[in-house]
Structure 1
Amino acid sequence: MKARNIHTYLLIGAIALLPGVTVAQAQSTQTAAKHSASAEGDITTVTVFGKLKPPTNSLTIDRSSASSCGFMSSSGSGSDGYVRRVIRDESDDYRFSTRSPYGDASNEYNVFYLRDRVRDGGGRSIGGGCGPADFGFAAGRAHIEARDTTMREAVDLYNAGKYPKSLAMFQKSYSKIGYHEAALMIAKMHLYGVGTEKNVPEAIRWYEKLALQPNRSSYKTTSDYMTPMVEASMTLAKIYLIGFDVPKDPKAVRKWFDRAYDVGYAPAGKTLGDMYYFGYDTPRDLGKAVKHYTDTASHGYAPAQYALANILYSGEETIKAAPKKALDWYWHAAKQKHPGATYAVARAYDLGENVKADPDRALSLYKEAAIGGDGDAQNALGTYFYNGQILPKDQVMARKWFEAAAVRGQADGMFNLGVMMMKGEGGETDHTKAYAWLTLAQKAGHPNAEAVLKILEGRMTPTEKAAAEALLAPQA
């Protein structure tokens, strides 16, 4: 099983927002359109019985759940503005126009619905969920958002470097529409002191306001897509993780990672598993770690599938070994091109563990994992070239793949590279670098490194030894 490390990073980085059309551009475009319409008259307009045909704006809403009536979202929905589409249904009965949200009174179905009939003539349930007020709210919101320019203007001001004015416009945009993106920008600007004095408590207030918005999804999904709500939750976790102008708070860290996972961010669930697995600021709890890994893995997140498989492969503490189940999880992760999982599947075919041995398929998977950056696979591929197994013998290629594995800290790769450098195989002889790589292999626990080092020392000149010691010395 390969060791895994928990990595923590502060979510700082540049704010990347696509610049919108400037106000001046929008005005000039609008003016040109008016002139064009005036000049061409009715020639270019669509008419129906002598009247202008209104836009056919409509939404797809599932009325079976009250959560579907939570239209407070910033998910785009085409010409209807930013009105929430929770669940789509192909039936026209589930569509309505934002210009007549209560339906057409001449349509008997709509009359039944507006009277909140529980069932139609065929016994089907048509009531419950969204009511007329919900439809009216959605239509009104679409009408406002279709004409709102505050978010675009705030972004334009930010890109122009007019940060105080940009902040004021983001605040106006949030108060007017409640854009999640606006709240996120306000929080960031307070966190880093952009356009205002740095104010971490105020930033935290805005992040919490956004992170604690109702999660209106009617079913749980997980992905690695970072929505504004997810980013707010993850940033809060990292603020308390490193103590960014606040005391470190492990409980708050787990709380906000848990919130990020709850609103659908799979990496947060994997991180929680890592925290319990490695005992980061909390007692190590393998049971909780496996629970988080399993839950996240079941939603298709490859790193969690790989972590769970590593535990099941040989077993740990109270978790019994289940190599067949581990291989199944490796397969799921490998299908998503996870390099470590791909290597594990390749090894199974190489050794015939719980599958029929297939050297050709193993080599193919080793290649895929090696190209993906897995150190174990890179070392394995190096041995194929070194020994001439299936592949033609090629010491130059072997040395390249051993070096690729070595720079990733793979113990066998460091040892093999050191031996080839000592012997001058696949390239020039280099006792200094060979000594350095063999020393690192020894520290990584390679069983043969110490014996080879003794042989190498007997061949080295005082100058080479001094150069090797300098190479291994900590850099100031």
Structure 2
Amino acid sequence: MKSKITLLFTALTLSLPGIALLPAQAQQAAAAPAASEATAAAVTITGNLTKRPTATVRYLDRSSASSCAFSFTSFQDEIINDYLDHFEGRGRDTDNTNMGLEGPQGLGDRSEGFRDSSPYGNAAGGERLPTPAENSASTSASCSQADRNFAAGRNYLARKDKTLDQAFAAYDAGDYAKALETFKISYKKIGYDEAALMLGNMYFYGQGVQRDVRLAMEWYDKLADSRFNAGQYSPFDARDPERASLRVQAQLRLARIYMAGYQIPKDPVKARYWYKQAAELNFVPARYVLARFNQTGYGGSKDIKEALKLYTNAAEYGYAPAQLSLGDLYYYGIEISQDFPRAFAWFQQAAKQKKPQAQYALAMMLEQGQGTTADPQKALAFYKDAAVAGHPDAQNALATYFYTGQIVSKDLATARKLFQSAAMQSQPDAMVNFAAMLLNGEGLEAGASRNTDEDKLKAYVWLKLAARLGREQAATAANKLETHLTDVQKAQAKRILKI
């Protein structure tokens, strides 16, 4: 829930003669339903799904042969992950040397699996590989024996290859020029995904070479648009939602380059395309971005139904930004039917992940009985959680409780601190309330002395800032207060407001 909804804050009266500031009550987006009729909606959260999509199964990875986009991941994945994390990306987990064979004996359910030492099958165990005709029913791509032989040889070379490790060692030593050339050798020799991504990153950031975004894009494209590799899916983990496979990282780089227009013209259509590719590889945050594109029409047609579908998919995985967006959509009835119970349910899910925006939204709905039974005590608890996390609207809301003494003991000093903190984050209602407390001399710490002239100047500045943010009552109050300022104070305020 965004700052469109603000707490009904207390009317504070300025102490100057003839100036009374009565902040208008904030209007809610819609009237709250009767508390007794409100019933929280049930939503489904699937959690950390790691199962791959069940559409057409294609074993096109290092367990298959070269024509099936065989690739190899270095054994030292922990080192690789560290380097890739340096570039705001995440690596992928270690894989074994078996060519798709699983289990303690190297035997699994992959129809095209084999060892690089036995490309024709496990002769000792009496195992043999199924022919393309035999496995065609379960796979959409099969490999010839020649392909398997080639892949087995390549896998054998990859296990003995040191060029990727040498490239990372050079990078770690700060020898970017050597690292760049060694990554190129590594990619040419084996075709490491890690090498392609690192080369793209190094050209993008200008490490060891002059920055060249177009060359960076060429390397990203080698990985982003390569043939399908089953290991390139991105299993979702709500604890680390931005974790992405190497291929997805390259796709995201391309998407962001097209969005921002780094050394190339902006291209929303291509940006949308690459986010879609990442979404199809199970990168849940990309589905959230695609939902926003569909909601706004960025890079293509506007489609609220598709946006809702994508938001829901990402939200059900446990992706908090999507849960928040769904809450907003249902709360405000943005191009869909308004549904307070469902909005409450999605905000509740996001609040479980300690998202201050969701905590504030729940507090608002609990206070007013929207989508649930009204419960001021629970509302206050969520206000506190969000306020402690620094949410300005929640700080302004909590401050009013301390100012009025509702539910909690009256504490003007705490109210003043909270109003000030929220005002510093450009919360307009807090600006007005903090200005009023300054003028009334309220909330001073024990033993603190008041400087009336300084407080008057500060209050004027805060009111003018709130007026810029659309608070008409703040503009009226500022105009009245200006008549009580000296010429020197007016000049000071003018200089401050220009900063």
Q: CA distance change for structure 1 residues 210 and 115 in 2, over 3 Å: closer, same or farther?
A: closer
Q: Secondary structure at the match of 1:191?
A: helix
Q: CA distance change for structure 1 residues 180 and 117 in 2, over 3 Å: closer, same or farther?
A: closer
Within 5 A, what are the aligned runs for 1:356-435?
356-427=373-444, 428=450, 430-435=455-460
Tell me whether 93-102 or 430-439 shows the greater mean CA deviation: 93-102
Who is 2:2 aligned against?
Answer: 2
Q: Say whether 1:210 aligns with 2:223.
A: yes
Percent of aligned positions that are identical: 38
Q: CA distance change for structure 1 residues 256 and 455 in 2, over 3 Å: closer, same or farther?
A: same
Letter in 1 for 2:170: L
Within 5 A, what are the aligned runs for 1:11-410?
67-68=58-59, 70-71=61-62, 72=70, 93-94=107-108, 105=123, 107=125, 111=127, 114=129, 143-217=156-230, 221-222=235-236, 223-280=241-298, 285-316=303-334, 318-410=335-427
**Within 1, Cα distance between the matches of 2:220 and 2:312?**
29
Deviation, 1:175, is: 1.9
Q: CA distance change for structure 1 residues 347 and 332 in 2, over 3 Å: closer, same or farther?
A: same
Q: Say whether 1:452 aligns with 2:443.
A: no
Q: What TM-score, normalized to structure 2?
A: 0.70
Q: Deviations over 1:267-319 (max 9, x none)?
A: 33323333444455667554444343233223321111111210111212x41
**Within 1, Cα distance between the matches of 2:352 and 2:278?**
26
Q: CA distance change for structure 1 residues 447 and 150 in 2, over 3 Å: closer, same or farther?
A: same
Segments of 5+ residues of structure 2 without an aligned counterpart are: 5-54, 63-69, 78-93, 445-449
Q: Deviations over 1:411-468 (max 9, x none)?
A: 2222222222222222355222222222222232335323432443343333222222
**Within 1, Cα distance between the matches of 2:99 and 2:463?**
60
Deviation, 1:114, is: 4.0
**Within 1, Cα distance between the matches of 2:347 and 2:97?**
40
Letter in 2 for 1:472: L
Q: Deviations over 1:337-356 (max 9, x none)?
A: 22111211122222222222
Q: CA distance change for structure 1 residues 193 and 221 in 2, over 3 Å: closer, same or farther?
A: closer
Q: Is the 8 A contact 1:303 1:338 kept in 2?
A: no
Deviation, 1:266, is: 3.0
**Within 2, Cα distance between the matches of 1:361 and 1:77?**
51
Match of 2:464 among 426, 429, 439: 439
Q: Is the 8 A contact 1:339 1:368 kept in 2?
A: yes
**Within 2, Cα distance between the matches of 1:250 and 1:294?**
23
Q: Is the 8 A contact 1:236 1:256 kept in 2?
A: yes
Match of 1:466 among 482, 491, 498: 491
Q: Is the 8 A contact 1:76 1:84 kept in 2?
A: no
**Within 1, Cα distance between the matches of 2:104 and 2:480?**
75
Q: CA distance change for structure 1 residues 185 and 106 in 2, over 3 Å: closer, same or farther?
A: closer
Deviation, 1:397, is: 1.8
Q: How many residues align?
A: 407
**Within 1, Cα distance between the matches of 2:95 and 2:165?**
13
Q: Is the 8 A contact 2:275 2:289 kept in 1?
A: yes
**Within 1, Cα distance between the matches of 2:242 and 2:366?**
30
Q: CA distance change for structure 1 residues 413 and 3 in 2, over 3 Å: closer, same or farther?
A: closer
Q: CA distance change for structure 1 residues 168 and 220 in 2, over 3 Å: closer, same or farther?
A: closer
Q: Secondary structure at the match of 2:58?
A: helix
Tell me whether 75-84 or 150-159 shows the greater mean CA deviation: 75-84
Letter in 2 for 1:452: A
**Within 2, Cα distance between the matches of 1:256 and 1:434?**
50
Segments of 5+ residues of structure 1 without an aligned counterpart are: 5-63, 120-124
Q: Deviations over 1:376-426 (max 9, x none)?
A: 212122222222233332222212222222232222222222222222222
Who is 2:14 aligned against?
Answer: none
**Within 2, Cα distance between the matches of 1:234 and 1:117?**
35
Deviation, 1:183, is: 0.5
Q: Secondary structure at the match of 1:448?
A: helix
Q: Deviations over 1:159-184 (max 9, x none)?
A: 33322221110011112232222111
**Within 2, Cα distance between the matches of 1:412 and 1:432?**
18
Deviation, 1:373, is: 2.9
Q: CA distance change for structure 1 residues 86 and 313 in 2, over 3 Å: closer, same or farther?
A: farther
* Higher RCO (C-alpha 8 Å, min separation 6): 2
User: What is the root-mean-square deviation of aligned Cα atoms in Å?
Assistant: 3.9
**Within 2, Cα distance between the matches of 1:214 and 1:245?**
27
Who is 1:45 aligned against?
Answer: none
